[in-house]
Structure 1
Amino acid sequence: MEKRPPNLLLITADQLRFDCVGFSCKYPVRTPNLDALAGQGTAFTHAYSVLPVCCPARQSLLHGRRPETFGALWNYSGALPVAALPPDAYTWTRTLAENGYRSAYLGKWGVNPDHDATAYGYHSVVGESDYAKFAKERYPDVVYTNGYFGEPDPVPLADSRTHWLAARAVAKLEELQRGDGPWHLALHFPEPHLPCRPAGRFASMYDPAGVPEWDGFRETFEGKPYIQSQQLLSWGIESFTWEDWAPVVARYYGVISQMDEAVGQVLNALDRLGAADDTVVVFTSDHGDMCGSHRMMDKHYILYDDVVRVPLIIRMPGGKPGRVSDSFVYNFLDLAPTVLELTGLSAAGPGNLQGRSLLPLLTENEEPAGWRRSVVSTYNGQQFGLYTQRMIRTKSWKYIWNCTDTDELYDLQADPAELTNRIGAPEHTELVAELRRELYGQLDADGDLLVRNSWMRRQLLEGAKRNCSGST
């Protein structure tokens, strides 16, 4: 009898930093359920977002190509033109549906403002608006007063958004498991995206006095692009000290731990239903969050590891537990080819996916020959104006091409917090030229139109770019 393809349970967070999960062993955030999942599968230590903004990242997840190649440049909100994945575009989720998978989508969307997940291959949807309606009817007198800086949530924990979504995910798992054939469930938590509003015991789980400063907090902005210090003024946080930030970070921690408990409820249901051994489980985040690091807020106008480096865990049936991979991977871009290979549907893909299947990293003891030695992330602007950035990161160096401002170069061995911009150092001239050439080659190969004109090519290939001291 032919073996049935595996189920797929995809769980994502929104704005979860890699260093804010327990298994990263960095900051004191407690995530026992995610830690257990990492111990049962493969944890990736160098997973990166291709574009650390919610909508473009989530559209890239379904489409399997870089956001710039199909016009997903920013979130479809505010004053900028709508940039969204059209429903007739390729999605691997539709490939699954066309090959017998029953599927359900719960939580944050971010792919198209006019079409929900049923237009992209899913059979049912429970969205953020469904929870908002529930909360408004059940708790009509609840009012939040602290804006994006967050506050304790007076809604009982069981009715908080994390646990409400988890409960509906469990019910949907029970329904899917009763049917015939494989299934796919996507659970996209909107947490810990600001404003952070932890509920119940999670509201007081972390004492601000015990929350350590981010390594990148002592930012001076010396030699950095203008937009970074301007961001403080835009948010009105230019005078914030760590005493101001610590309560915000404590709430960020609290919401992460709260979400972890909700993840545990879903994973426990998977075990209870006897489906764990037949299900690929993926956990990741669309991107990270500054949350006071470099004294900044949210995720815009920067490509620090705070926002581009994310957690990624994959547990697969029959996989070796406790694996840790230091290879460079894209958490969303690599997911499409990985899922198609794991489900035996690679031949049904479009043939132009830009990621790579992670199956070799999940099964082989050594990194495959020819695996990528760097990652590239991009940014195009948002609510405070357009701003074009392209980043290339190796294990030792990060170069950021800021097309209309000074570039950035960080020595990640000596300065992992990315506090000192080395772009003007004469001893790094050849290194910068090499990183620019490599960045250009990747952008050109991926179809990024930014490098398809002579002015942009001169910046990268001829060094026609001023550094922070005003010299070239």
Structure 2
Amino acid sequence: MSVRTVIEVLLNPFLARLIRSNQRHPLVLAAFFGLLALLAACDFSGARPRPNVLLIVLDTVRADHLSTYGYSKNTTPNLTALAGEGVVYERCLSPGSWTLPSHASLFTGLYPRDHKTTCELPRVLRRKYRTIAEVLAENGYATVGFSNNAWLNAATGLQQGFANFFDIWRERRPDGRSADGIDEGAATTNERIFRWLDHDTNRPFFMFVNYFEPHLPYRPPPPFDSKFVDANFDPIMVAEARGWFHPRELGYVLKVPGMEVTDSEFEVMHSQYDGEVAYLDARLGELIEGFRERGLLDNTVVIITSDHGEHLGDHEMMDHKMTLYDALLHVPLVIRYPPAVHQGSRVSAPVQLIDIFPTILDLCGIDEDQPEDSRLLPPSPQQAPPPRLSFAEFGRPTVFLEVMLKQYPGVEYSQFDRSLVAVNDGRYKLISGSDGRSELYDLHRDPGERNDIASENPDVVADLTNRLTDFQAKTPMQ
């Protein structure tokens, strides 16, 4: 019997008596239960103490625009340096293409099919679904979140389990900039994180951080605004691209006259998006260095990922709506934790965002039943498990259709009034719409998903359609 178990057995008979006798002394009770929380977080077996967990979401960052993933432009030197001390998962797939379902899956280890937090009402993660923050809190962890995305609010249920959650996005100016005008909140976020670390690290903690910079509009601060700008770019065109606010991108997607975007304009947008990524990478480096200076880094599981990618003209789309192409689903994933992760490794086997939930619990030594479809992330290429099917979903986009109708009345948008589900077997990927339209891609020969081969491969379509039917029949999305 462990020392922790002995403590629990000995204390249980006295809890009721303690509470009755100290009802008029709340400070005594608070001190006692604080001690219990510390004991619960301790490891009495002689092994290392439970680690802290730092889970970072680089919102709207697609993997193929990171130099860490082979991109030709040096957008992420700090992430690359960190990856040299950890493991890079080269094929991490998100189960959703936008914030709400992707974060709900990240926090629960469940597909959108199961947690049902999608575009459709009520757009809330229900209390019955346990989040990683809740599990860690129950095991003695301090839990804190810092978010720059308005979808991660108390009303959507994504703050379940966090003792403290800082909505940095509420401090933005009307133009979307942070109060200091520097960025979309990354600088302020780091300041708040360091302030919290300097006062609240007396027990293991779980910290979640959402950075927002690569979201539309793309307008990185100097010198990142010019870091990837070609000398031949028209300065007026650059200024216009930096002023593209939502829902301007919907005009392009809907092919509204006058809303066309030229190839040159997309080149400019790429330069500004890359500048946002590079700026965010600099802030990431600042954060990691802050952990290192405080002596926290080596006992912290650092996980860096994204909730989804971004369309930058791919498939004649912008932003991250209406599709399930890999421009939106292929996200970065880097983990650093020297005691358990092989340094400098790269895992090419496909993994999924839902795998982060059980992996955190395993690294923290917490025995908890993991969600059925998730599995532990391999700490090295040699330990990669056999391939499995991955799925992604996009519910009927009611919230986005409302914006389209209001902003561009009379424009045809019925082609987007459908839900989507995709299955990927490692080579072939089938995207199936509720309107009966399907697309098939050979990801080995066509990683950009430019050539739909559904009509040429009816057997593959039939097989993957059956896989999708089985997937949806398990717990149909409602």
- TM-score bracket relative to the smaller structure: 0.7 to 0.9
Q: Structure 1 CA distance, aligned partners of 2:257 and 2:268? A: 17
| Corresponding position of 1:190 | 212
Q: Which amino acid aligns with 2:224?
A: F
**Aligned position for 1:171:** 195
* 3-state SS of 1:40 partner: coil
> Match for 1:44: what amino acid?
Y
Q: 1: distance between equivalents of 2:232 and 2:460?
A: 40
Residues 196-345 of structure 1: pairs in structure 2 closer than 5 A: 196-208=218-230, 232-233=253-254, 239-318=260-339, 319-331=341-353, 333-345=354-366
- The one-letter code sitting in structure 2 at the alignment partner of 1:395 is G
Aligned partner of 1:121 in structure 2 is 161
Per-residue deviation, 1:379 = 0.9
Based on CA coordinates, which of the two structures has the bigger radius of gyration?
2
Ranges in structure 1 where 5+ consecutive residues have no aligned partner? 75-79, 137-141, 145-151, 212-227, 451-472
Aligned residue in 2 for 1:38:
83
Quickly say closer, same or farther: Cα 1:437–1:443, change in 2 above 3 A. same
* Cα displacement string for residues 99-138 of structure 1 (whole angstroms, at most 9, x for unaligned residues): 1111210013634552676x51112122133432xxx4xx
Contact 1:206/1:254 (<8 A) preserved: yes
1:265, CA displacement in angstroms? Answer: 0.7
SS in 2 for 1:120: coil
Superposed counterparts of 1:389-404, under 5 Å: 389-404=420-435
1:19–1:27 CA contact under 8 A, matched in 2: no
The residue aligned with 1:440 is: 469
Larger CA deviation: 258-267 vs 318-327: 318-327
CA–CA separation in structure 1 for the residues paired with 2:252 and 2:111: 26
Residues 262, 131 of structure 1: alpha-carbon distance in 2 compared, 3 angstrom cutoff: farther
Write out per-residue CA displacement over residues 64-115 of structure 1, whole angstroms, 9 at most, x where no aligned residue: 21122232122xxxxx533111345311211111111112100136345526
* Whole-angstrom distance in 2 between the partners of 1:259 and 1:58: 19
Q: Which amino acid aligns with 2:460?
A: L
Offset at 1:29? 4.5
Contact kept? 1:300, 1:381, Cα under 8 Å: no
Whole-Å Cα distance in 1 between the matches of residues 188 and 163 of structure 2? 20
Q: Which residue of 2 aligns with 1:215?
A: none
Q: 1:169 to 1:234 in 2, by over 3 A?
A: farther
Asked if 2 retains the 8 angstrom alpha-carbon contact of 1:390 and 1:400, the reply is yes
Equivalent pair of 2:87/2:380 in contact (CA under 8 Å): no
Cα deviation, 1:205-246, whole Å, max 9, x if unaligned, reads: 1115689xxxxxxxxxxxxxxxx9997226767632111212
| Distance change in 2, residues 1:13/1:66 (3 Å) | same
Deviations 1:148-183 (A, max 9, x none): xxxx999664x6522121222222223333x1x211
Q: Which amino acid letter does the alignment assign opposite residue 429 of structure 1?
A: P
Please point out which of 97, 100, 104 is paired with 2:140: 100
2:447 to 416, 419, 429: 416
- Matched residue, 2:27: none
| 1:270 match: secondary structure | helix
Q: Counterpart of 1:125 in 2: which secondary structure? A: strand
1:357 maps onto 2:398 in alignment: no
C-alpha distance in 2 between matches for 1:320 and 1:238: 49
TM-score relative to the length of structure 2: 0.77
Go from structure 1 to structure 2 and tell me whether the alpha carbon gap of 1:52 and 1:122 turns closer, same or farther (over 3 Å shift).
same
Q: CA RMSD in A?
A: 2.7
Match of 2:392 in 1: 377
Percent pairwise identity:
26
Q: Distance in 1 between matches of 2:251 and 2:223?
A: 37
Please state if 1:50 is matched with 2:90. Answer: no
Q: CA deviation at 1:284?
A: 0.3
- Give me the whole-angstrom Cα distance separating, in 2, the residues matched to 1:38 and 1:233: 39
TM-score, length basis structure 1: 0.78
* In structure 2, distance between residues paired with 1:19 and 1:270: 27
Q: For the residues of structure 1 that align with 2:284 and 2:326, how far apart are their CA atoms?
A: 25
SS at match of 2:145: strand
Tell me if structure 1 keeps the 8 A contact 2:432–2:439. yes
| SS of residue matched to 2:191 | helix
> How many correspondences in the alignment?
400
Distance 1:120 1:229, change over 3 A: closer
Q: 1:246 to 1:52 in 2, by over 3 A?
A: same
Question: Does the 8 Å contact 1:235/1:297 carry over to 2?
Answer: no
